[in-house]
Amino acid sequence: MSRIISTERPGKIRNQHRRTIAEALRRLSQKPQLDDEAKDLAALIVFCLHGMADTVDRTIAAWEKRDY
């Protein structure tokens, strides 16, 4: 059986989350009042930030494993 190679590297995932957050902030700044969509955008930003934190933890674990 061959090795499974993950193409989703932590840096790539962080960049995707950053782009998503930027787009959500752009749309959120255009909202004149707080409606359901604005709340959904805020929740999306929170989930993206949590996703970025997870990738940072994975990166730290890999660096510590190599004893950097």
Cα–Cα distance for residue pair 64/68, rounded to 1 Å: 6
pLDDT at 25: 98
The domain spans of the chain are 10-65
pLDDT at 1: 66
pLDDT tens for 24-45 read 999 999 999 999 999 999 999 9
Cα–Cα distance for residue pair 18/47, rounded to 1 Å: 11
pLDDT at 46: 98
What does pTM read for this prediction?
A: 0.78
Alpha-carbon 9 to chain mean position: 12
